Amino acid sequence: MYQPKSLHEIRVYHSKIIMSTLRQNGPMTKNDLALKTGLSLSSVTNILKILTDRELVTLGDKIDSFAGRPATYIVPVLDAVYSVGIEVSQYSVRFVLMNLGEPILAKEKHDALFENSDAYWDAIHEWLEAFIDANNVDRGKLGGVVLATRLAVSSGERIGNIPVLLDRSAEMIDTEALCRKFEEYNFDVALNTKIAGAIYGLWESKDLPDYVYLSVDSTIGGCVVRNYESVNIYDLSDNFGHMIVHPGGKRCSCGRTGCLETQCTASGLYMRLNLSSLDEFFTELENGNEDCAARWETYLDDLCVALNNLYMSYDMDIVIGGTMAQYLDRYREEIDRRVFADYALFPVKRKLIFAHNGEYAAAIGAAAVVIEKFIAKKIS
Ligand SMILES: [Zn+2]
């Protein structure tokens, strides 16, 4: 577990726990907060004083309590800040709107082929403005707009305070031009999609201090999260994608054969059968198409080798995100069986968690950066 060192660190840590509990569960009484967080009633009282001063919580209705004195609901100020996350990918642009509450407030997708031109970035900017207006966001409370893309990468570059990692399979674009666009539009930072996806995983899995995050999308990558406080999310790499799961399989961009990255991408699943989408693939599969069934069998075999390797290496729960998460979720029993069944060495059985909103994971992760920074700044 995370061990805060100074009194100040303890206060910040406890504030985060209480804010997180309120954001996930909605208004609660002080007693319920203490019970839910495991903090003492006096700690909760002290922290609530700070959070009230910083306008992150207010006092709500009084309710009758068993103890005699009426109890008061502690209400998180959900609209203290708004945040927009944008994911720019090869074929589409996704927007999400968040405030301090969960789940997200709005989402929107535009189909648009990526092109590194002024016209393309201007279109994104127009969609953003329309998205903000359509959702009646108070612009004074808009904490930031964060853009996630696996296209905007070059080795060792930084945009704002965020290091941008090299994604070997990504198309290189002129990051200087992108920076200028960011300034023009007041976008905050650029993030690698996989990092944003992992931040999303982190955000959705707050109850989990430790887990392995695996993004299964048009590329595959992931990271290891060790206690949500100390994780260095920017160390995320795409190395998971290059573990060999199918010796002698398809050749990968890394030069070897049978990498997870070549065997289990979302697009590879349907494109090899000349189908047009994942939806079409799964409809055909459910209708008994034998080619799809054979392809799915190999896909699950390969993916489960990877999941099993991750499980054996880290002995942690595994959070699966990315576009494939929603489809894999339908087969969770089968996947669970293949990964965990008949394995008796570990006394504790780990679980597989399928992140909801998988398709929007990166955009949500990007938006969550603003929310987390806002809370951190308020309580530090
Ligand atoms: Zn590879």
pLDDT in tens, 73-106: 889 888 889 999 888 777 789 999 999 887 789 9
Would you say how long the chain is, in residues?
Answer: 380
Is the distance from CB of 150 to CB of 160 less than 8 angstroms? no
Whether the predicted pLDDT of 254 surpasses 50: yes
- Return d(Cα 84, Cα 371) in angstroms, integer: 10
Cβ neighbours, 10 Å, residue 5? 7
How far is the centre of ligand 1, averaged over its atoms, from the C-alpha of 178 (Å)? Answer: 29
- The sign of the dihedral angle between the CA atoms of 256, 258, 353, 190 is positive
Whether the predicted pLDDT of 291 surpasses 80: yes
Q: Of 146, 106, 105, 143, which Cα lies nearest the Cα of 124?
A: 146
How far is the centre of ligand 1, averaged over its atoms, from the C-alpha of 361 (Å)? Answer: 24
Burial 319-353 (b: 16+ CB within 10 A, else e): bbbbbbbbbbbebeeebeebbbeeeeeeeeebebb
Q: Which domains are present in the chain? A: 7-76 (1.10.10.10), 80-196+361-379 (3.30.420.40), 206-354 (3.30.420.40)
Mean of the per-residue pLDDT values of the chain: 78
- Return d(Cα 51, Cα 207) in angstroms, integer: 21
How far is the centre of ligand 1, averaged over its atoms, from the C-alpha of 271 (Å)? Answer: 19
How far is the centre of ligand 1, averaged over its atoms, from the C-alpha of 153 (Å)? Answer: 19
How far is the centre of ligand 1, averaged over its atoms, from the C-alpha of 317 (Å)? Answer: 24
How far is the centre of ligand 1, averaged over its atoms, from the C-alpha of 212 (Å)? Answer: 20
Q: Specify the pLDDT at position 124.
A: 87
How far is the centre of ligand 1, averaged over its atoms, from the C-alpha of 216 (Å)? Answer: 14
Q: What is the mean pLDDT of residues 277-283?
A: 93
Sheet holding 28-29, edge to edge: 28-29, 71-76, 57-63
Q: Which of 35-44, 46-55, 185-194 has the lowest mean pLDDT?
A: 185-194
Would you place residue 206 in the very low, low, confident or very high pLDDT band (cuts 50, 70, 90)?
A: low
Q: Specify the pLDDT at position 189.
A: 47
Whether the predicted pLDDT of 284 surpasses 90: yes
Structure-token pair, residue 321:
């995100």
Q: Which residue has the higher pLDDT, 129 or 215?
A: 129
How far is the centre of ligand 1, averaged over its atoms, from the C-alpha of 308 (Å)? Answer: 18
How far is the centre of ligand 1, averaged over its atoms, from the C-alpha of 167 (Å)? Answer: 12
Q: Specify the pLDDT at position 212.
A: 85
Q: Specify the pLDDT at position 239.
A: 72
Residues 6 or more apart whose CB falls under 8 angstroms from that of 378 comprise: 54, 56
How far is the centre of ligand 1, averaged over its atoms, from the C-alpha of 338 (Å)? Answer: 23
Residues 6 or more apart whose CB falls under 8 angstroms from that of 97 comprise: 82, 83, 84, 104, 105, 106, 107, 131, 132, 135, 137, 367
How far is the centre of ligand 1, averaged over its atoms, from the C-alpha of 60 (Å)? Answer: 55
Q: What is the mean pLDDT of residues 243-271?
A: 90
Q: What percent of the chain has pLDDT over 90?
A: 26
How far is the centre of ligand 1, averaged over its atoms, from the C-alpha of 259 (Å)? Answer: 5
Phi/psi of residue 6, each to 5°?
Answer: -95, 170
How far is the centre of ligand 1, averaged over its atoms, from the C-alpha of 258 (Å)? Answer: 7
Q: What is the mean pLDDT of residues 217-225?
A: 77
Cβ neighbours, 10 Å, residue 183? 9
Q: Specify the pLDDT at position 136.
A: 92
How far is the centre of ligand 1, averaged over its atoms, from the C-alpha of 238 (Å)? Answer: 10
How far is the centre of ligand 1, averaged over its atoms, from the C-alpha of 245 (Å)? Answer: 10
Q: What is the mean pLDDT of residues 291-309?
A: 95
H helices present in 135-254, as ranges: 175-185, 193-204
How far is the centre of ligand 1, averaged over its atoms, from the C-alpha of 133 (Å)? Answer: 43
Whether the predicted pLDDT of 319 surpasses 80: yes
How far is the centre of ligand 1, averaged over its atoms, from the C-alpha of 104 (Å)? Answer: 35
How far is the centre of ligand 1, averaged over its atoms, from the C-alpha of 260 (Å)? Answer: 7
Residues 6 or more apart whose CB falls under 8 angstroms from that of 336 comprise: 352
Q: Specify the pLDDT at position 346.
A: 57
